[in-house]
Structure 1
Amino acid sequence: MGAHLEDPLDIGSVTVPNRLYRAPLLECAGNGPDAVDALVADLEPAAASGVGLVFQGATIVREEGGCAAPGMTRVHDDDFVSRLSRLTDAIHDHGGRIFVQLEHGGLRSMETWHARYRREHPDQTQLAVSRPPWQLRALDTVGFLDYDPDVMTTADVDELAADFGRAAARCVDAGYDGIHLAGANMGLLHQFATPFYNRRSDRYGDRGAFFERVLDEIRDRAGDVPVVTKVPAETPAPRVVRRHLDLEDGVDLAVRLADYGYDAVVPVQTNVFWDMSIVRGAYPKRAWTDESLQDAYAEAFGSRWRALGVRALNRLQARRMDFDAPWNAEFCRRVRERVDVPVLCEGGVRERREMYRLLGAADDDPDAAGGDSAPAADAVGLARPFYAEPRLGARLLDDHGREHVTPGTRVVCESCNNCTVPQATGAPGVCRTPSVLRERGRLEKRGAYDPDDESPKPPETGNIDDSGPTDR
């Protein structure tokens, strides 16, 4: 029997009102005096549009270091975190639930790759699970990256796990309904999980041990709060990387973490490097050619020449990395066959019909059989489409019998990545593609983003642009 997108879902002790969630994105809100306002402005529209679960994006557990991009919010300070209750209250006022994603970037952090940040923080430590693999040392030798890693002792790892627990406790006190761990996409948790980075000889040489210790710390300090984690499989890794997590390794890790006590898992296929396996789609030409960003790219990457080198790699990756959405579906399906906790699926989901297929329904009939295959997921998430349509839930959720919500309802996002590349400079995650913004404007005029409007609307037309060429 297939699940309905509008059905509630239990994640641990929390009931989420439906199975659509806003996946973690970079809010770039920081910790300044306007940070809470920025987070409310970014996240509340999703809940207001009916989205059942909102994940606040990567949030750093320590006062210094660990940020993979400029502007990440930190939750190390009691006073600041207490003010985040205004955000959690705003989400709850709309009937939604909010989990915060906790992270430390490790060798993916700005102290490794961001040139200006390194100059301004010369004493900041690059936390490493083990000595960097030879591929990264080669990049250091040719001057593309600059590694001076501090390999953590066992005591260091224990203390970092405790920081995750302390951060979780602060967030629960501020009203967050749950914790999401950034266990993939080359963050530090991922680095502990993969043989590419983890060559330790102590107990943390076991790829699941750090995940387990972090969960123990959260339970000890924050109580029985629901905890979700991403789980990596490094299927996009190039041939030169022989030691990595294949799909079966990822499934086994997900099963182990579910058995240990995680309340839900998010299987993600990602590389051992930071690349477009995370944000698959078109080469973001507009983002790279925007004159207003050129100085900021040079500051981030060290010079205009190095920025051009990163741009060239970005173009090559876009050609190599097929969109092939939803690209995590098979991974999710294989995990779901073996675990007893909810499996959350994201990665290129763009149409309501796809969501029903992932949930095991043949169409929008909640009593329909699940087609030719078992359900792949218990909830479905989207990320970049919320940059393009902050109130997207109103177009995808059929809570009020709205006639404009059909099986073919599709997001207007073109997966062109013009929103993501500028975030390396600290620019906000917003849609910059004219054709998408024009289509959103048309939908706004039709009232498609009003969750309480039950009046009939013209049929959905998809992303139509009749006013000139796009960037793609």
Structure 2
Amino acid sequence: MPALEDPLDIGGVTLPNRLYRAPLLECAGNGPDAVDTLIEDLEPAAAAGAGLVCQGATVVRPEGGCAAPGMTRVSDPDFVAELSRLTDAVHAHGGKIAIQLEHGGLRSMETWHAGYREAHPGLQQLAVSRPPRLLRALDRAGFLSYDARVLSTDEVYDLAADFGRSAAYAVDAGYDAVHVAGANMGIVHQFLSPFYNRRDDEFGDGVRFLELLAAEVRERAGDVPLLTKVPAETEAPPVVRRRLSAADCVRTCQRLESAGYDALVPVNGSVFWDLSIVRGEFPGRSWRDDRFREGYAAAFGSRARAAVVAAANWVESLAYDFESAWNADLCGRVRRRVDVPVLCEGGVRERSTVDRLLSDGPAGRACDAVGMARPFYAEPRLPARLLGRGAAGARVACENCNNCVVPQAAGEPGVCRTPSVLRRTGALREQGAYERPDAADADAGGD
């Protein structure tokens, strides 16, 4: 039975332990301070001992495809080469770093962000198929705006090549692994989902696109370890009949193992961008914060429409309450059917939960490594508290309030803004809880 502190091999790269920082929005963009921002956000996790640090979703094309403000584009090889400063910083602490590659497709800002649409009137969404009827209804109501261009077969191949090129740039910059953003309603998820995909060519089988991505990455970037999230749309509302089941997710994972993926991250979710992805409380504090009101109005078209979105967000919070390790059962089902490492994230908040997920229970082990995401907004050096002796009773400071998430729609960075959490992390810092007693670089990386 492995311990969290034990190493793990993924595609020939050895992680020093089985705790990873899952992908998060860093909101660094591509400006002159972008690399420094990424180092500031990501190096602390490595300095505190995380075995793997996953940089949040980066966009593989020079325009369009951003799902949220401030996402970093990795289509320019000169810019990506500058990211070697980031990979060097992570490697200096003995950690490994993966880059997540994405294109938003129908979930891009040109769909939902009113201010962005106004500033980029010529942008069309890339679509797997014509937008589903339910989304077209939201378009007619004025909450979304679709001018979608359905990809031809040749254009699908071109898009896969862009993923491969960005992967090659990243490997040249020192990244240890490539993580395909296969869930959370990006375009890869849209290929997989029967809700979105009604094509009549070879890519009507959505797994075929992920198989093509693997071939492009291998051809252009070599034998870099390749990971992807794999969705099950188990949380979609009942009105959605065409969806991915848990059994579909398991079958997809088996095919991706055969296609050469070196690790898989099964996740439950919906067909919409909603609180099924970040379960927890309604982020009322952030919706009421005067600092963000103009940003919300710019994003959603007016203050009145922002209020409607906030109300929908409240309804979602009733349906998607926080659940500890909500992907654990799905991960366990996948792990029993594949031989590559299975990574589990989503609602993991305690060291005892981590140990349970890595243990051999009656149904077998749930996963081979455990990731956390939002807790790192509150505790950038969280691994120092979760790894090693004395960590058995450790629990993250995050309260699952989601007040870190909503302001990102207004272009704000992902940081913890909850006073009770900040008081606790301040006290922990004063106690030295974020230092690594077993490492010479205990003070490196900042807080």
| In 2, Cα distance between equivalents of 1:49 and 1:137 | 46
TM-score normalized by the length of structure 1: 0.92
Shift >6 Å, 4+ stretches: none
Once the two structures are TM-superposed, the CA of residue 113 in structure 1 deviates from its matched residue by 0.5
Q: CA deviation at 1:425?
A: 1.1
Separation (CA, whole Å) in 2 of partners of 1:408 and 1:253: 36
In structure 1, the partner of 2:408 is: 423
Give runs of aligned pairs for residues 340-379 of structure 1, distance below 5 A: 340-360=339-359, 370-379=360-369
Residue 391 of structure 1 aligns to a residue whose secondary structure is coil
In 1, Cα distance between the equivalents of 2:334 and 2:387?
A: 26
Counterpart residue type for residue 226 of structure 1: P
Give the match's secondary structure for 2:273. Answer: coil
**Equivalent residue, structure 2, for 1:389:** 379
Q: How far has the Cα of 1:146 moved from its partner?
A: 1.2
The answer (yes or no) to whether the contact 1:447–1:453 under 8 Å persists in 2 is no
Distance 1:394 1:322 in 2: 28
SS at match of 1:381: strand
Query: Corresponding residue for 2:423?
Result: 438
Counterpart of 1:364 in structure 2 is: none
1:253 is paired with a residue of what secondary structure? helix
* Secondary structure, aligned partner of 1:280: coil
Q: How does 1:36-435 map to 2 (within 5 A)?
A: 36-360=35-359, 370-398=360-388, 401=389, 403=390, 405=391, 407-435=392-420
Supply the distance in 2 between the matched residues of 1:116 and 1:376 (Cα, whole angstroms): 43
For the 8 Å contact 2:281–2:321, the answer to whether it is kept is no
* Cα contact 1:20–1:381 (8 A) shared by 2: yes
> Quick one: distance in 1 between partners of 2:145 and 2:25?
24
| SS of match in other structure, 1:358 | helix
Give 1:373 shift: 3.5
1:366 aligned residue = none
Q: Deviations over 1:395-420 (max 9, x none)?
A: 0000xx4x3x2x22100000100000
Output the aligned Cα RMSD: 0.9
TM-score (norm 2): 0.97
**Equivalences, count:** 439
Asked whether the equivalents of residues 129 and 198 of structure 1 are also in contact (C-alpha less than 8 Å), the reply is yes
Looking at structure 2, the residues matched to 43 and 5 of structure 1 have their Cα atoms a distance apart, in angstroms, of: 20
8 A contact 2:264–2:341 mirrored in 1: yes
Partner residue, 1:462: none
Deviations 1:124-147 (A, max 9, x none): 121100001111111111212111
Q: 1:444: how far off?
A: 0.3
Mapped to 2, the partners of 1:371 and 1:31 lie a distance apart of 45
Q: Using the alignment, how far apart are the partners of 2:136 and 2:71 within structure 1?
A: 27
Structure 2: runs of 5 or more not aligned: 440-447
Deviation at 1:453? 6.5
What is the CA distance between 1:374 and its match in structure 2?
1.2
Question: In structure 1, the residue corresponding to 2:72 is in which secondary structure?
Answer: coil
Contact 2:20 2:51 in 1 (8 A): yes
Measure, in 1, the Cα distance between the counterparts of 2:378 and 2:212: 37
Q: Equivalent pairs: percent with the same residue? A: 66
- Which residue pairs with 2:444 in the alignment? none
Asked whether the 8 Å contact 2:59–2:66 carries over to 1, the reply is yes
Paired amino acid for 1:438: R
2:397 maps to amino acid: V
Given that 1:282 and 1:417 are in contact with CA atoms closer than 8 Å, whether structure 2 keeps it comes out as yes
One-letter code aligned to 1:62: R
Query: Alpha-carbon deviations, 1:1-56, whole Å to 9, x = none?
Result: x2100000000010000000000000000000000000000000000000000000
User: Aligned-pair distance for 1:79?
Assistant: 1.0
